[in-house]
Structure 1
């Protein structure tokens, strides 16, 4: 089955926004990400359903935190369905290889209004969980709260990375 004709304007707006997001992510440019976001954008945490980041300023600030903890971020070509896009990226967090999958939606104005990110493998997610929430907590609620978040999340990353080294030997 072939598809002919010109793409709908929203589809090309979605492609443009996605390409710009990928470029901004690869260069670690949170200000460029901010320019792509709708005022009411929602970012769903890859770590918990209990936290969502809402609004252009908060999601842009979150990206500053994300780019501060990820190294060597590289994206893949996007997949498209209507106004939704999906792409993957690889990065490193504290020396641990991370793979992630991004789902996003673009509104009629060509702005990203929803982001969902899924992260694997578990040691990378646990390491991200140990690094990112303390940083975000410190920014949003103060250094003491950030220190408490680090105290709570650090042991999980250690246990998961250690289990990942030894458990495969038993499989």
Structure 2
């Protein structure tokens, strides 16, 4: 008598999509991310509430910029609640460590409709703030505006790095 193994559980479109998203992030593959996006996707900037990236093309282009500045990205297993998945990732930007939580909401077809990212610690966030917005500005509005954004963000990053090193000594 042969024993048959139980049937493998069916993978939901959302489960398959989150697995593909994590793999695309770890390999830095913005084209693979683009395949997962709904046409009306919204990406909320982790750096300011004043900026949202909307639409498949813009969010895919943003991921090209993100993957160009992040190094050694590794993700964790996702947490699930309804149509939303949350997972963390660790990476470096210009050699500075950062960690983030991604909240990703999906539609019934397993397409990403919304992304929110929360980043810490302060030195990692500051370095990302000095690196990513100038790149995005240059892509969207031209190199001159990208240079202007860089001139605004780099001093702030220096101040935040310094505060991170000095403030804990006084706590």
TM over 0.5: yes
The equivalent of 2:4 in structure 1 is none
What is the distance in 2 between the residues matched to 1:159 and 1:83?
39
2:52 aligns with 52
Residue in 2 that maps onto 1:23: 23
Partner of 1:164: 164
> Which residue of the partner structure matches residue 105 of structure 1?
105
Question: What stretches of structure 2 of length at least 5 have no aligned partner?
Answer: 1-8
1:140 aligns with 2:140: yes
- 1: CA distance, partners of 2:146 / 2:117: 23
- Displacement of 1:126 in angstroms is 1.1
Deviation for aligned residue 1:163:
1.4
Q: Which runs of 4+ in 1 moved over 6 A?
A: none
Where 1:41 maps in the other structure, the secondary structure is: strand
Normalization by structure 1: what TM-score? 0.93
What residue number does 2:129 align with? 129
Alpha-carbon distance in 1 for matches of 2:142, 2:18: 33
Find the aligned partners of 2:96 and 2:165 in 1 and give their Cα distance.
12
CA distance in 2 between counterparts of 1:12 and 1:86 reads 16
Uncovered stretches (5+) of structure 1, i.e. residues with no partner: 1-6
Per the normalisation by structure 2, the TM-score is 0.93
C-alpha offsets along residues 27-68 of structure 1, whole Å, 9 cap, x if unaligned?
000000000000000000000010000000000000000000
Which structure has the greater CA radius of gyration?
2
